[in-house]
Amino acid sequence: MKVPLFLGGVDLLKVEAWVLGIEKLFEVFSCLEAQKVQLATFTLEDEARRWWMLIQDDSKSIDWTRFIELFYDKYYPQCVHDRNVSEFGELKQGNMSVAEYEAKFTELARFAPHMVGTDYKKVRKFEDGLHNDMLERVNVLKLLLMLMC
């Protein structure tokens, strides 16, 4: 099993990959909250390790939830989150193929769960971003499905 390392930097994909990798370890190894933080911080390297060394004195009895809050505050600032939410809100198919649009939609949807919290909302948001000609095809398929039922 490969232990995920985090070096630092504001790269959301790396941040998320690290958090998911660490939480995957928690599924395999039963850890108390304090042990989760110990395991996670053991995998921090370079700039991230220096960040942790600076704040750990103030965080002696920190649990995993608080650690994640501090970690995201440092490596996924609110302004970056807001930019991702805006990008998702404005997402349109544009010159992308439907497959490319779907991939981008899926990538950005995680930043705005309030916009896609139900299947209905997710479908509506996806359809709203499609080209008109593609949306017409989707509507024809919906009509055909309704007639078949």
Distance of CA 68 to the CA centre of its chain: 13
Mean pLDDT computed over 133-149? 77
Rg of the chain (C-alpha set): 20
Per-residue pLDDT band for 125 (boundaries 50, 70, 90) equals very high
| Per-residue pLDDT at 3 | 83
**Bridge partners of residue 6, in order along the sequence:** 44
Q: Round to whole Å and give the CA distance between 48 and 52.
A: 6
Length of the chain: 149
Per-residue pLDDT band for 2 (boundaries 50, 70, 90) equals confident
Q: Round to whole Å and give the CA distance between 118 and 45.
A: 38
Pull the structure tokens for residue 22. 């660490």
> In Å, what is the CA distance from 140 to each residue of 14, 128, 149?
41, 16, 15
Helices (H), the chain: 12-28, 33-42, 46-55, 64-75, 78-89, 98-109, 119-128, 132-148
pTM higher than 0.85 for the full model?
no
pLDDT of 142 over the 90 cut: no
**Bridge partners of residue 44, in order along the sequence:** 6
Residue 23 or residue 133, greater confidence:
23
pLDDT of 59 over the 60 cut: no
